[in-house]
Amino acid sequence: MENINLQLYSFGHDCNLSAVEKIKCAAEMGYSGVEFAQDYKDVPVEVIKKALSEAGIKAVSAHVPFEMMGEHLPYLAELGVKFVACPMTSFCDAEEAKEVAAELNKWGNEAKKYGITIGYHNHTQEFNKDQDKYLYDWVIENTDPETVAFEIDCGWASAAGIDPVEYINQHAGRIAAIHIKENGAVIGPDKASSRKNPPEWPKFELDEDGKPIFPPEFIKMMQERDKLNVPTGSGIVDWRTVKAAADAQRDGVIYVVEREASYDGKSRIDCLKEDVAWLKANV
């Protein structure tokens, strides 16, 4: 596999690298492009363009919440980004899934002015069912194929109990991007939350350095989730068949490595180096 991109979120919340430094580091690790997660906040677009040019890599995609789409689309278009996905949102039934689809269609029409396709990126909760159909299906089937496509996070999908290859084939033509996130086990879908009462990220007390103090039960939960992030090639996803299925259904599919946690006591950067090296050698 060539043209492997990196979701910059993968550097982790405790990473001290600037957006420019992340771009440079991604290139040095062997990635050919990046997917932004608002890393460029407060950075002039000319600075990011220069960093990309000097690193010799491209800005291929980005994650932007619905409420920020209007503000970010012009900036991302100037960087040459062609695919922008909402990273997640709350919806718990078919009715709310159709509301999400309407939001995607709205932004798809707006993004078309910039030559950008709008999309959505899944976690596990999208694979709860209503009326014997996955919530994600309700979204996909009610969006405009001309302006809206989807990013299948194969790690979260497989964790929910979904075969990514089957799901890609079921929605052939609609999958514009693949998140390569290795996963070691099936945990089932998280409970879906309603748009009417979306969950809030828990707030924690801060220590003297301004870092959050996590309670033991939260740490245990995160540690269990982190165990799912095994080395690429050692989990339950067959990346060769994923790539074959994705390439067969649409031209120009974007492949993006995303890592939620490190493994074996290694640094995040060492893990990301091993991810891209394994993919280049084996897929």
Contact 8, 40 (CB under 8 A): no
HSE-up of 65 (CA within 13 Å, CB side)? 5
The predicted-structure confidence for 57-76, as pLDDT tens digits, reads as follows 999 999 999 999 999 999 99
User: Which residue has tokens 């540690």?
Assistant: 223
Is 211 a member of any domain?
no
Which tokens hold the place of 53? Answer: 């040019």
Range of the domain at 275: 4-196+229-282
The predicted-structure confidence for 159-213, as pLDDT tens digits, reads as follows 999 999 999 999 999 999 999 999 999 999 999 999 998 887 677 788 887 777 8
Number of domains in the chain: 1
Determine the Cα–Cα distance for residues 271 and 261; give it in Å rounded to an integer.
9
| Type of residue found at 37 | A
Is 241 a member of any domain?
yes
Is 78 a member of any domain?
yes
| Helix intervals (H) in 117-215 | 135-141, 154-159, 164-170
The CATH number covering residue 106 comes to: 3.20.20.150
Is 209 a member of any domain?
no
CA distances from 154 to 7, 19, 119, 177 (A): 14, 26, 15, 10
pLDDT in the model for residue 212: 74
Is 120 a member of any domain?
yes
Backbone φ and ψ for 244, nearest 5 degrees, come out as: -60, -45
Is 220 a member of any domain?
no
Is 39 a member of any domain?
yes
Contact 89, 65 (CB under 8 A): yes
Is 28 a member of any domain?
yes
| Verdict on whether the full-model pTM lies above 0.85 | yes
64: three-class secondary structure by DSSP? coil
